[in-house]
Every structure is written in structure tokens, then in C-alpha cells.
Amino acid sequence: SKQRGRNRFLFFDSEMGAEASERNQLEVELMRALEKREFVLYFQPRYDLRSNQVVSAEALVRWRHPVRGLVMPGKFIPICEETGIIEELGQFVLEEGCNQAIEWHRRGLDIGLSINVSPRQFSGDKLMETLRAFSQRPDFPNGYVELEITETALIGDLEMIAQKLRAITDLGFRIAIDDFGTGYSNLSYITRFPLNCLKIDKSFVDQLPDTIPIIQLILTMAAQIGVTTVAEGVETAEQIEQLAVSGCEQVQGYYFTKPVPLEAFEETTRRLNEN
Ligand code: C2E
Ligand code: CA
Ligand code: CA
Ligand code: CA
């Protein structure tokens, strides 16, 4: 076998040819995986602290690699973003996610779905086309599908971005800011863009109770502009208690469950909603 440690994608070496660059080879591997439908959505519940119900799910992609087993997104999303494959992968995730939301709605389940949209996918032109197509379906659940976008996707021509976000919300999709509080951009976008939700980054939850002032600041701001708040990466009852007291509306994290395949998600949701 080849020498180890050159880069983090080394585990692909066994399937790499000699001539093409590593990146091209990984690209081929990822494209093959897309064609073979090796990517699959896992789901993690978002729990509402006032109704004590699961209100939605976040779709998180995994790669079921035939040899390597389950590969986590941290291992392939960055390279997908660099190579542009993210547009294809993101498209797959978006279609799978919207179809799942439609299916839940058809079954009468009152549950939303959040889908991660990468910066490159957000700025590409395929996104709007797909959103428009889904919004035109008669069975599309208006207001039930949310796009999670990081602040880094919102840098550039602010007027153009605002227009795009408005077009997306006009089609009946919600917009959440993912990892809120970790970007270093000018906060003024908060009032300029049509937003529905702020997801408070896990790093603030990890450092509770030290971060209570920051979390309260975010919650106050969110209330002012009328958006929902979700705290991410909640692992303990103590954290939930502190977040609830501060007025955070929703929480998501291993405390309830890790992201799991569809059937396990539905099972867990039933159990959580009974308690
Ligand atoms: P993210 O969107 O911030 O997703 C939250 C991540 O935190 C997920 O990791 C989730 O499993 C993890 N997490 C949730 N609760 C807890 C907790 O209580 N403790 C800890 N330690 N972790 C928790 P995951 O699934 O590995 O995804 C990592 C990142 O990969 C995501 O961060 C997102 O940026 C990206 N990603 C995942 N799926 C997709 C996708 O379909 N499209 C795009 N563009 N990016 C995706
Ligand atoms: Ca997310
Ligand atoms: Ca996040
Ligand atoms: Ca993140």
C-alpha cells in the first residue's frame, strides 16, 4: 500500500489510478457514488420546549461506502464543495428531502424538514429551478421545508442575496441561519434578509452557563425580528434547563438522539411525542 499521511483523503488511494490527480480521482469516486446512490439521508429531531413535541427533522447526509462503511460528511462535504460536486450532491439531498417532507405530509404527520444548503449550492442556478419545481407540486407542504444556510453563503452582493432569499421564501420554503454566531460577517443582514430561524451554534451550548449572556442576546434579537430559535448540539438535561429558562424555543442534539436512518427517526419521534 501507499505511504500514509499525505492528505486526509488517503483512504481513497486503493481505488486511485496513476495518471489523474488525486482530486480528479476523488471526484470520480464521488460521482460514482452519486450514480450508485450510495448517499443516504439520516435524520435528527428538532424538539420544541413549549409543546414538548418533535417539530421537525434535520436531514444530514452520509455515504454508505461499499468498503469503508458509513462515511461522515466532514470527510467528503469539503471536497465536494471545492470540486463543485456539492451542486450534484446538494441537489440529491434537496430532492430526497423534499420528497420525504411530501411523504410525511401525505401521511398526515405534522413535521417539518430542514435541509443543509452549502454556499456553492446556494450561489448556483440549479437551486431555484428545483425549489420552483417542488413548490409547484400540488402536494407540496408549504412552509414545511426549511433551508439551512451558513453566514458564509450570505457574503457578496447583499441586494442580490436578499432577492434570492425573498424568491425562496415566496415559494413557500423557510430560511434558517446555521451555526449562528460563528461567522464574522456584519450582523446587519439579519434585518435585511427574510429569515425564519436562527440556529445557535453548538459551541455556545458547550460553554453553558458562561455563554448565557451571548445566548440571551441572540434570543432577544431573534424575538425582535420574529424568528424561531434552535440551540444545536444539546447533550445534557442541564443545558436544556438553562436554554429553556433563557427562552430558547427549540433544541436539537444527542440528548434526544444522534441523527439516525428514517425508520429509527420515525420510531424515536413517536416515543418522544408520547412522553
Ligand atoms: P451542521 O449542519 O451544523 O450539522 C450538525 C452536526 O452536529 C451534525 O454532524 C450532527 O450530527 C452533529 N450533532 C448534532 N447534535 C449533536 C450533539 O449533541 N453533539 C455533537 N457532538 N454533535 C451533534 P454531521 O451529520 O457529521 O454533519 C456535519 C456537517 O456536515 C453539518 O454541520 C453540515 O455542515 C455538513 N452537512 C451534513 N449533511 C449535509 C448536506 O446534506 N449538505 C450540506 N451542504 N452539508 C451537510
Ligand atoms: Ca445544519
Ligand atoms: Ca449547525
Ligand atoms: Ca456546522
* Interface confidence (ipTM) of the complex: 0.98
Give the pLDDT band (50/70/90) at residue 22: low
Could you report the per-residue pLDDT of 49-68, keeping only the tens digit for each?
999 999 999 999 999 999 88
Cα separation, 182 vs 201, whole angstroms:
7
Among protein residues, the one whose CA lies closest to atom 23 of ligand 1: 233
Distance 149 CA to ligand 2 centre (A): 8
What is the structure's pLDDT at 5? 43
Peptide bond into 194 cis (omega under 30): no
Q: pLDDT at residue 130 above 80?
A: yes
Could you report the per-residue pLDDT of 155-176, keeping only the tens digit for each?
889 999 999 999 999 999 999 9
Per-residue pLDDT, averaged over 146-150, amounts to 97
Site residues for ligand 1, CB cut-off 6 Å? 44, 60-61, 72-74, 77, 90, 93, 116, 118, 178-179, 233-235, 253-254, 259
* Ligand 1 nearest-atom number relative to CA 148: 2
Among protein residues, the one whose CA lies closest to atom 22 of ligand 1: 233
Distance 183 CA to ligand 2 centre (A): 14
Predicted structure pTM score: 0.92
Nearest Cα residue to 225 out of 251, 186, 184, 196: 196
Q: pLDDT at residue 133 above 50?
A: yes
Extract the runs of DSSP E, i.e. beta strands, from 142-266.
145-150, 174-180, 197-200, 228-231, 250-251
Distance 205 CA to ligand 3 centre (A): 12
Per-residue pLDDT, averaged over 200-208, amounts to 97
Cα separation, 72 vs 188, whole angstroms:
34
Distance 178 CA to ligand 4 centre (A): 7
Per-residue pLDDT, averaged over 209-216, amounts to 96
Cβ density class 195-210: b for 16+ within 10 Å, e for less: bbbbbbbbebbeebee
Among protein residues, the one whose CA lies closest to atom 45 of ligand 1: 116
Q: Phi, psi (5° rounding) for residue 100?
A: -65, -45
Distance 258 CA to ligand 4 centre (A): 15
